[in-house]
Amino acid sequence: MKRTHSHARIALSDGIICFDGADMSSDRWSVPLSRLAIVAEFTDPGQWGSYDWVLILIEKSGTGHAAPMYAEGIDELLTALQALMDSEMRPALASSVDFASRILWPLKLAGQPLYRILPSPQGGWFFGRLRQMWERFWGTLYYELTPEAKSLLSDGGS
């Protein structure tokens, strides 16, 4: 990937994907490959810095994890996943300036969106309009997994 986020690291070791944000203790997680249901990429123009384009890993339980696509080790991870999962792990949203998501694996859903945008919660006339202006300015979005993505979860997404 073009640049590296020097603080974040991601790696595959002994069948477990491990992420360490390095500068935030809450930004550490690990996922065994055996629990993966979905691998995807996601862009959010409302995020600044390295979290505007992320790798999304969703477990069969529905638990999701995100790592910046600029994390150290991301290229090696994608290469390893491509070999292990017999699927092309070729992210394509690097230059997206819009909200976008794209499933990389499983192969049967590759290229399809991971998320769908939901309408903003409505308030009364005044506060509803105020909220819409605020969200337009700050790029706030509400989204959920697509029905196709939900169908891959162990509970069917419910």
Backbone angles phi and psi of 86, in degrees to 5: 50, 50
pLDDT at 2: 47
Whole-Å CA distances, 122 to 103, 119, 126, 140, 141:
30, 8, 10, 14, 13
Query: What is the DSSP code (8-state) at residue 135?
Result: H
pLDDT at 76: 96
pLDDT at 99: 82
pLDDT in tens, 107-145: 999 999 999 877 666 655 576 666 666 666 555 667 889
pLDDT in tens, 54-69: 899 999 999 999 998 9
pLDDT at 158: 47
Residue type, 87: S
Give the chain's mean pLDDT.
82
- % residues pLDDT > 70 (the chain): 72
- Give the model's confidence band at 27: pLDDT under 50 very low, under 70 low, under 90 confident, else very high: confident
Domain boundaries, the chain: 5-113
Higher-confidence residue of 49 and 78: namely 78
pLDDT in tens, 11-20: 999 999 999 9
Residue 48 CA to chain centroid, in angstroms? 15
Residue type, 128: G
pTM above 0.85, yes or no: no
